[in-house]
Amino acid sequence: MELTAEEKKALLDEMVEKAKADLAKEAKADIEKVQKLVADERKKYEEMLNGKITAAELKQYEEKSQAFEKKVQEKIDAIETKMNRLPIENPDNKTEKPGQKEYKAAFFNFIRTGVMKLEEKAQQYAQEFKALVSDTTGQILIPEELESEIYRALPKINVIRRYALIRGTTRDRIRRRSLTEVAMGWGKLELGKEVVETTVVPGEEWQYVEDLEGLAKIGKDELADSDVAIEATIIDSFARARSDAEELGYILGPGHSDQQPEGILNGSVVTRVTTAAADAVCVDDFLNLIYAVPRQYRADAVLLVPSTTELAMRKLKSATEELYLWQPSVQAGKPATFAGYPVENQEDIPAIGSAAECDVAIFGNLRAGYRILDRQGMTMQRLTELFATSGMIGLLASSRTGGSVIRPAALRILREHA
């Protein structure tokens, strides 16, 4: 009785799977031998470093290993030939499975180079060995088709450091001095004109550098055995976390009394401009905000709003011509503009209607109005002894920075109507 197409395919798949399992089992036994040989050679090499054996004895052992390697390699070549002959897919579909080519390359390359001199090839065979694992059935697999990327959340887009004034310092605080401005008037004194008098009032304030810390603990085995650079990834993650924490502090930080930066929206240092209505914005609100900033500070000003407020702005039109005031950017890397001024998203600013009388936008010259103090860049300390008894390694990230408003006249805040 002739088999149907489905029955032929099922029979073929069964034969292929059995052949693959037999070859994998055979190859696994050889890999175990090579792994033992690698471990023995590593041990011999360490013994030579510790003076327990001589270099000549190590060389003699290596020659013996190379002879064994040649014998195993001939067997692996035969297995490779068989595997290449296997129809691992439906004969009607010749496409190779994702990762199969990489798997074969790592498998056979490990076999061929795993017993080479440790001082030359240790890093190479270590990386290739991590690409090969065994499952419960004894088959040789690769992890996720050689996928080594760790999927993480995309970083926030932070803007304050891009626009603010940044100064380095070697102290934990700097003094900010100020004087009230003087005035002059026209007229001849000899004709009785009184001179304009001004009482100059000096002022003094301090801007502080605050501490920003973070600790991550990870098992020492995870660091040693992972096929990706976990430690480098954690350090990069700390850099992102630092940027996010700084940005939040520069916008909403309560100040030095809470060991945080002084945020732009903190307190009543910066003058507020109130919207015409609650839970909504109109064109006039933003025009009033823009023109509340003195002309000398508007030249390099920027408008900071959260994404929800930006959406509301994009829907605003001129009253007469029904034209949108929002102008999308036509140049890559440049922000869109509103009424001629660049608009940047800052997601730590409250959204419209999120609270009673909340601040919903910031406008002004940040370089003139806000200063960031950096005591040092981010440092990373590796703590190997503190958590040794629990099998963990600590990574302590530290940063010292601060920020505060230095010229309130250069900034204005849009606040919702009650």
Encode pLDDT of 108-119 as tens digits. Answer: 554 444 443 444
The residue from 105, 122, 141 where one domain ends is 141
71 belongs to a structural domain: yes
305 belongs to a structural domain: yes
CA separation for the pair 172, 208 (Å, rounded): 6
Residue type, 292: A
Residue in the structure block whose two tokens are 């692996």: 76
Angle at 44 between CA 39 and CA 49, to 5 degrees: 125
Per DSSP (E only), the strands in 154-244 are 165-168, 173-179, 202-208, 210-219
Reply yes or no on whether the pLDDT at 360 is more than 90.
yes
- Average pLDDT value for residue range 206-217: 92
Query: Are residues 239 and 381 both part of a single domain?
Result: yes
Query: Are residues 36 and 68 both part of a single domain?
Result: yes
Q: How far is CA 37 from CA 23, 46, 190, 368, 382, in A?
A: 21, 14, 107, 67, 33
- Average pLDDT value for residue range 344-359: 92
Reply yes or no on whether the pLDDT at 197 is more than 80.
yes
Model pLDDT for residues 231-250, shown as the tens digit of each residue: 778 888 888 899 999 999 99
* Length of the chain counted residue by residue: 418
Q: Residue 123 corresponds to which tokens in the numbers above? A: 């890093």
Query: Are residues 109 and 240 both part of a single domain?
Result: no
In DSSP terms, 381 is beta-bridged to 396
26 CB-near residues (< 8 Å, 6+ apart)? 79
146 belongs to a structural domain: no
The larger pLDDT score, comparing residue 119 to residue 84, is at: 84
259 belongs to a structural domain: yes
Residue 132 pLDDT level (bands cut at 50, 70, 90): very low
Q: Residue 204 corresponds to which tokens in the numbers above? A: 């003094």
CA separation for the pair 414, 357 (Å, rounded): 10
221 belongs to a structural domain: yes
CA separation for the pair 13, 408 (Å, rounded): 75
Residue in the structure block whose two tokens are 């660091």: 223
pLDDT for position 401: 94
Query: Are residues 163 and 106 both part of a single domain?
Result: no
Pairing of strands 272-274, 210-219: unpaired
- Average pLDDT value for residue range 192-220: 90
The residue from 141, 165, 200 where one domain ends is 141
- Range of the structural domain that residue 126 is part of: 5-141
Residue 42 pLDDT level (bands cut at 50, 70, 90): low
Query: Are residues 243 and 205 both part of a single domain?
Result: yes
Prediction pTM value: 0.61
* Total domain count, the chain: 2
14 belongs to a structural domain: yes
Model pLDDT for residues 276-333, shown as the tens digit of each residue: 998 888 989 999 999 999 999 999 999 999 999 999 888 887 666 566 667 776 566 6
- Average pLDDT value for residue range 382-398: 88
Query: Are residues 12 and 47 both part of a single domain?
Result: yes
Residue 23 pLDDT level (bands cut at 50, 70, 90): low
Query: Are residues 137 and 157 both part of a single domain?
Result: no
The residue from 106, 141, 176 where one domain ends is 141
Question: Three-state DSSP class for 182?
Answer: coil
Residue 365 pLDDT level (bands cut at 50, 70, 90): very high
Q: At what angle do helices 100-113 and 5-49 cross, to 10 degrees?
A: 30
Query: Are residues 338 and 317 both part of a single domain?
Result: yes
Helix ranges, 131-166 (H)? 160-163
Query: Are residues 271 and 216 both part of a single domain?
Result: yes
Cα 254 to chain center, whole Å?
26
Q: Residue 166 corresponds to which tokens in the numbers above? A: 């940044």
Q: Residue 246 corresponds to which tokens in the numbers above? A: 């700084």
Q: Residue 368 corresponds to which tokens in the numbers above? A: 């003139």
- Smallest CA-to-CA distance from 138 within 19, 36, 26, 226 is with 26
Q: Residue 267 corresponds to which tokens in the numbers above? A: 């307190």
Query: Are residues 137 and 155 both part of a single domain?
Result: no
The larger pLDDT score, comparing residue 41 to residue 246, is at: 246
Query: Are residues 238 and 117 both part of a single domain?
Result: no
- Smallest CA-to-CA distance from 245 within 161, 306, 166, 370 is with 161
309 belongs to a structural domain: yes
Reply yes or no on whether the pLDDT at 15 is more than 70.
no
> What CATH number does residue 328 fall under?
3.30.2400.10
Q: Residue 24 corresponds to which tokens in the numbers above? A: 């994998």
351 belongs to a structural domain: yes
Query: Are residues 170 and 134 both part of a single domain?
Result: no
